[in-house]
Structure 1
Amino acid sequence: MSISELSSKVENDKVLVLERIFDAPRDLVFNMFKDPEHLKHWWGPAGWELPVCRIDFRPGGTWLYCMKCMDRNQGEYYGMESCGKAVYKDIIEPELIAYTDYFSDADGQIDENMPASAITLDFIDLGGKTKLVNRSEYVSAEALKTVLDMGMLEGITETWNRLEEHLKEVK
């Protein structure tokens, strides 16, 4: 796998595994996921901003975020908001972040009609570079299919592209 190349695979019909190598030290890549000031620069697909990003970065803490489409060229998505709430389960700095990610409204009320995912982010030190492994486990194959059909894979690819660009700016 080369830098900037995203690989994805599905395990057991309900676990999506994404991997990518970033040309930045592990501590810096890890920090991108815990600092709201960094997240505002890269979280979300191209053309989306992050006007709401509140983080209580500790096990049991939460992360509330709302993305908003600011790109008029995205047609029906322009002006749309998409919010989520994460509840952190485990944090081992700078190696691992585990959390449950929910669809929510801007107040953090969880949308029970949408699939939640148990996410584990592993940050693997490659001597100045970082391999990021994202495991997203869903309750069923149908739940995974729901988010894939919503364009989640394209969205995370664009999001990680934005992360790569932000890392270049701050390195």
Structure 2
Amino acid sequence: MTNQMVSTVEDKVLILEREFNAPRELVFQAFTQAEHLKHWWGPRGWTLPVCHVDFRVGGVWHYCMKCEDKNQGDYYGMESWGKAVYSEIVVPEKIVYVDFFSDAEGNEAENMPSTRVMLTFIETETGTKLINRGEYASAESLQQVLDMGMMEGITDTWNRLAEHLESIQKSS
């Protein structure tokens, strides 16, 4: 699959766009159901041992990514907890949520930036264009997550999503 992600930074907003060769309903479901998310969320070498999705306005998605790849050195065995609180859902067009770094209990990490994320799913002739608009409190907060390697992580994650969508469609 050759569809590459395009990223744009505008002050405190990061916009990511990519087309996936899959129907819009399927791409939407991949973001809303634990059984899908477990297959692709997180960079390569990381798994999702915890994934609780309460997909409704006001609902929470709480998850843990864990590095299972010994080749990733210091990251091996590391856990990264996250929490999303859904604020708007339009099936199968849009999901809006605030994304937080958290702990295993779901407490938000105060020293880490949160992100207001708007996912837009647009039907195209060949599949679905996904636009992820992430808004941070400040340009500095955005820079903080970029410095942590977030672009590499999200690129890897979306590549895994593309592979997951392809494998589902082949098996159906």
Q: TM-score range by the shorter chain?
A: over 0.9
Runs of 4+ displaced beyond 6 Å: none
Q: Residue 154 of structure 1 aligns with which residue?
A: 152
Count matched residues: 169
CA distance in 2, matches of 1:168, 1:132: 16
Report the identity percentage. 63
Aligned to 1:123, the other structure's residue is in SS state: strand
Q: Residue 9 of structure 1 aligns with which residue?
A: 8
Which of 127, 130, 155 is the matching residue for 2:128? 130
Q: Residue 117 of structure 2 aligns with which residue?
A: 119
Q: Residue 32 of structure 1 aligns with which residue?
A: 30
TM-score (norm 2): 0.96
CA distance in 2, matches of 1:83, 1:92: 26
CA distance in 2, matches of 1:3, 1:52: 31
Which of 153, 163, 166 is the matching residue for 1:165? 163
Which of 53, 56, 61 is the matching residue for 2:54? 56
CA distance in 2, matches of 1:99, 1:89: 5
Q: Over the residues paired in the alignment, what is the CA RMSD in angstroms?
A: 1.0
User: Deviation of residue 128 (structure 1)?
Assistant: 4.5
**Counterpart amino acid of 1:10?**
V
TM-score (norm 1): 0.97
User: Deviation of residue 127 (structure 1)?
Assistant: 3.3
CA distance in 2, matches of 1:126, 1:97: 18
User: Deviation of residue 4 (structure 1)?
Assistant: 2.3
What is the CA deviation profile of residues 104-162 of structure 1, one whole-angstrom value per residue up to 9, with x for unaligned ones? 00111100110000000000001340000000000001000000000001000000000
CA distance in 2, matches of 1:3, 1:63: 30
Q: Residue 107 of structure 2 aligns with which residue?
A: 109
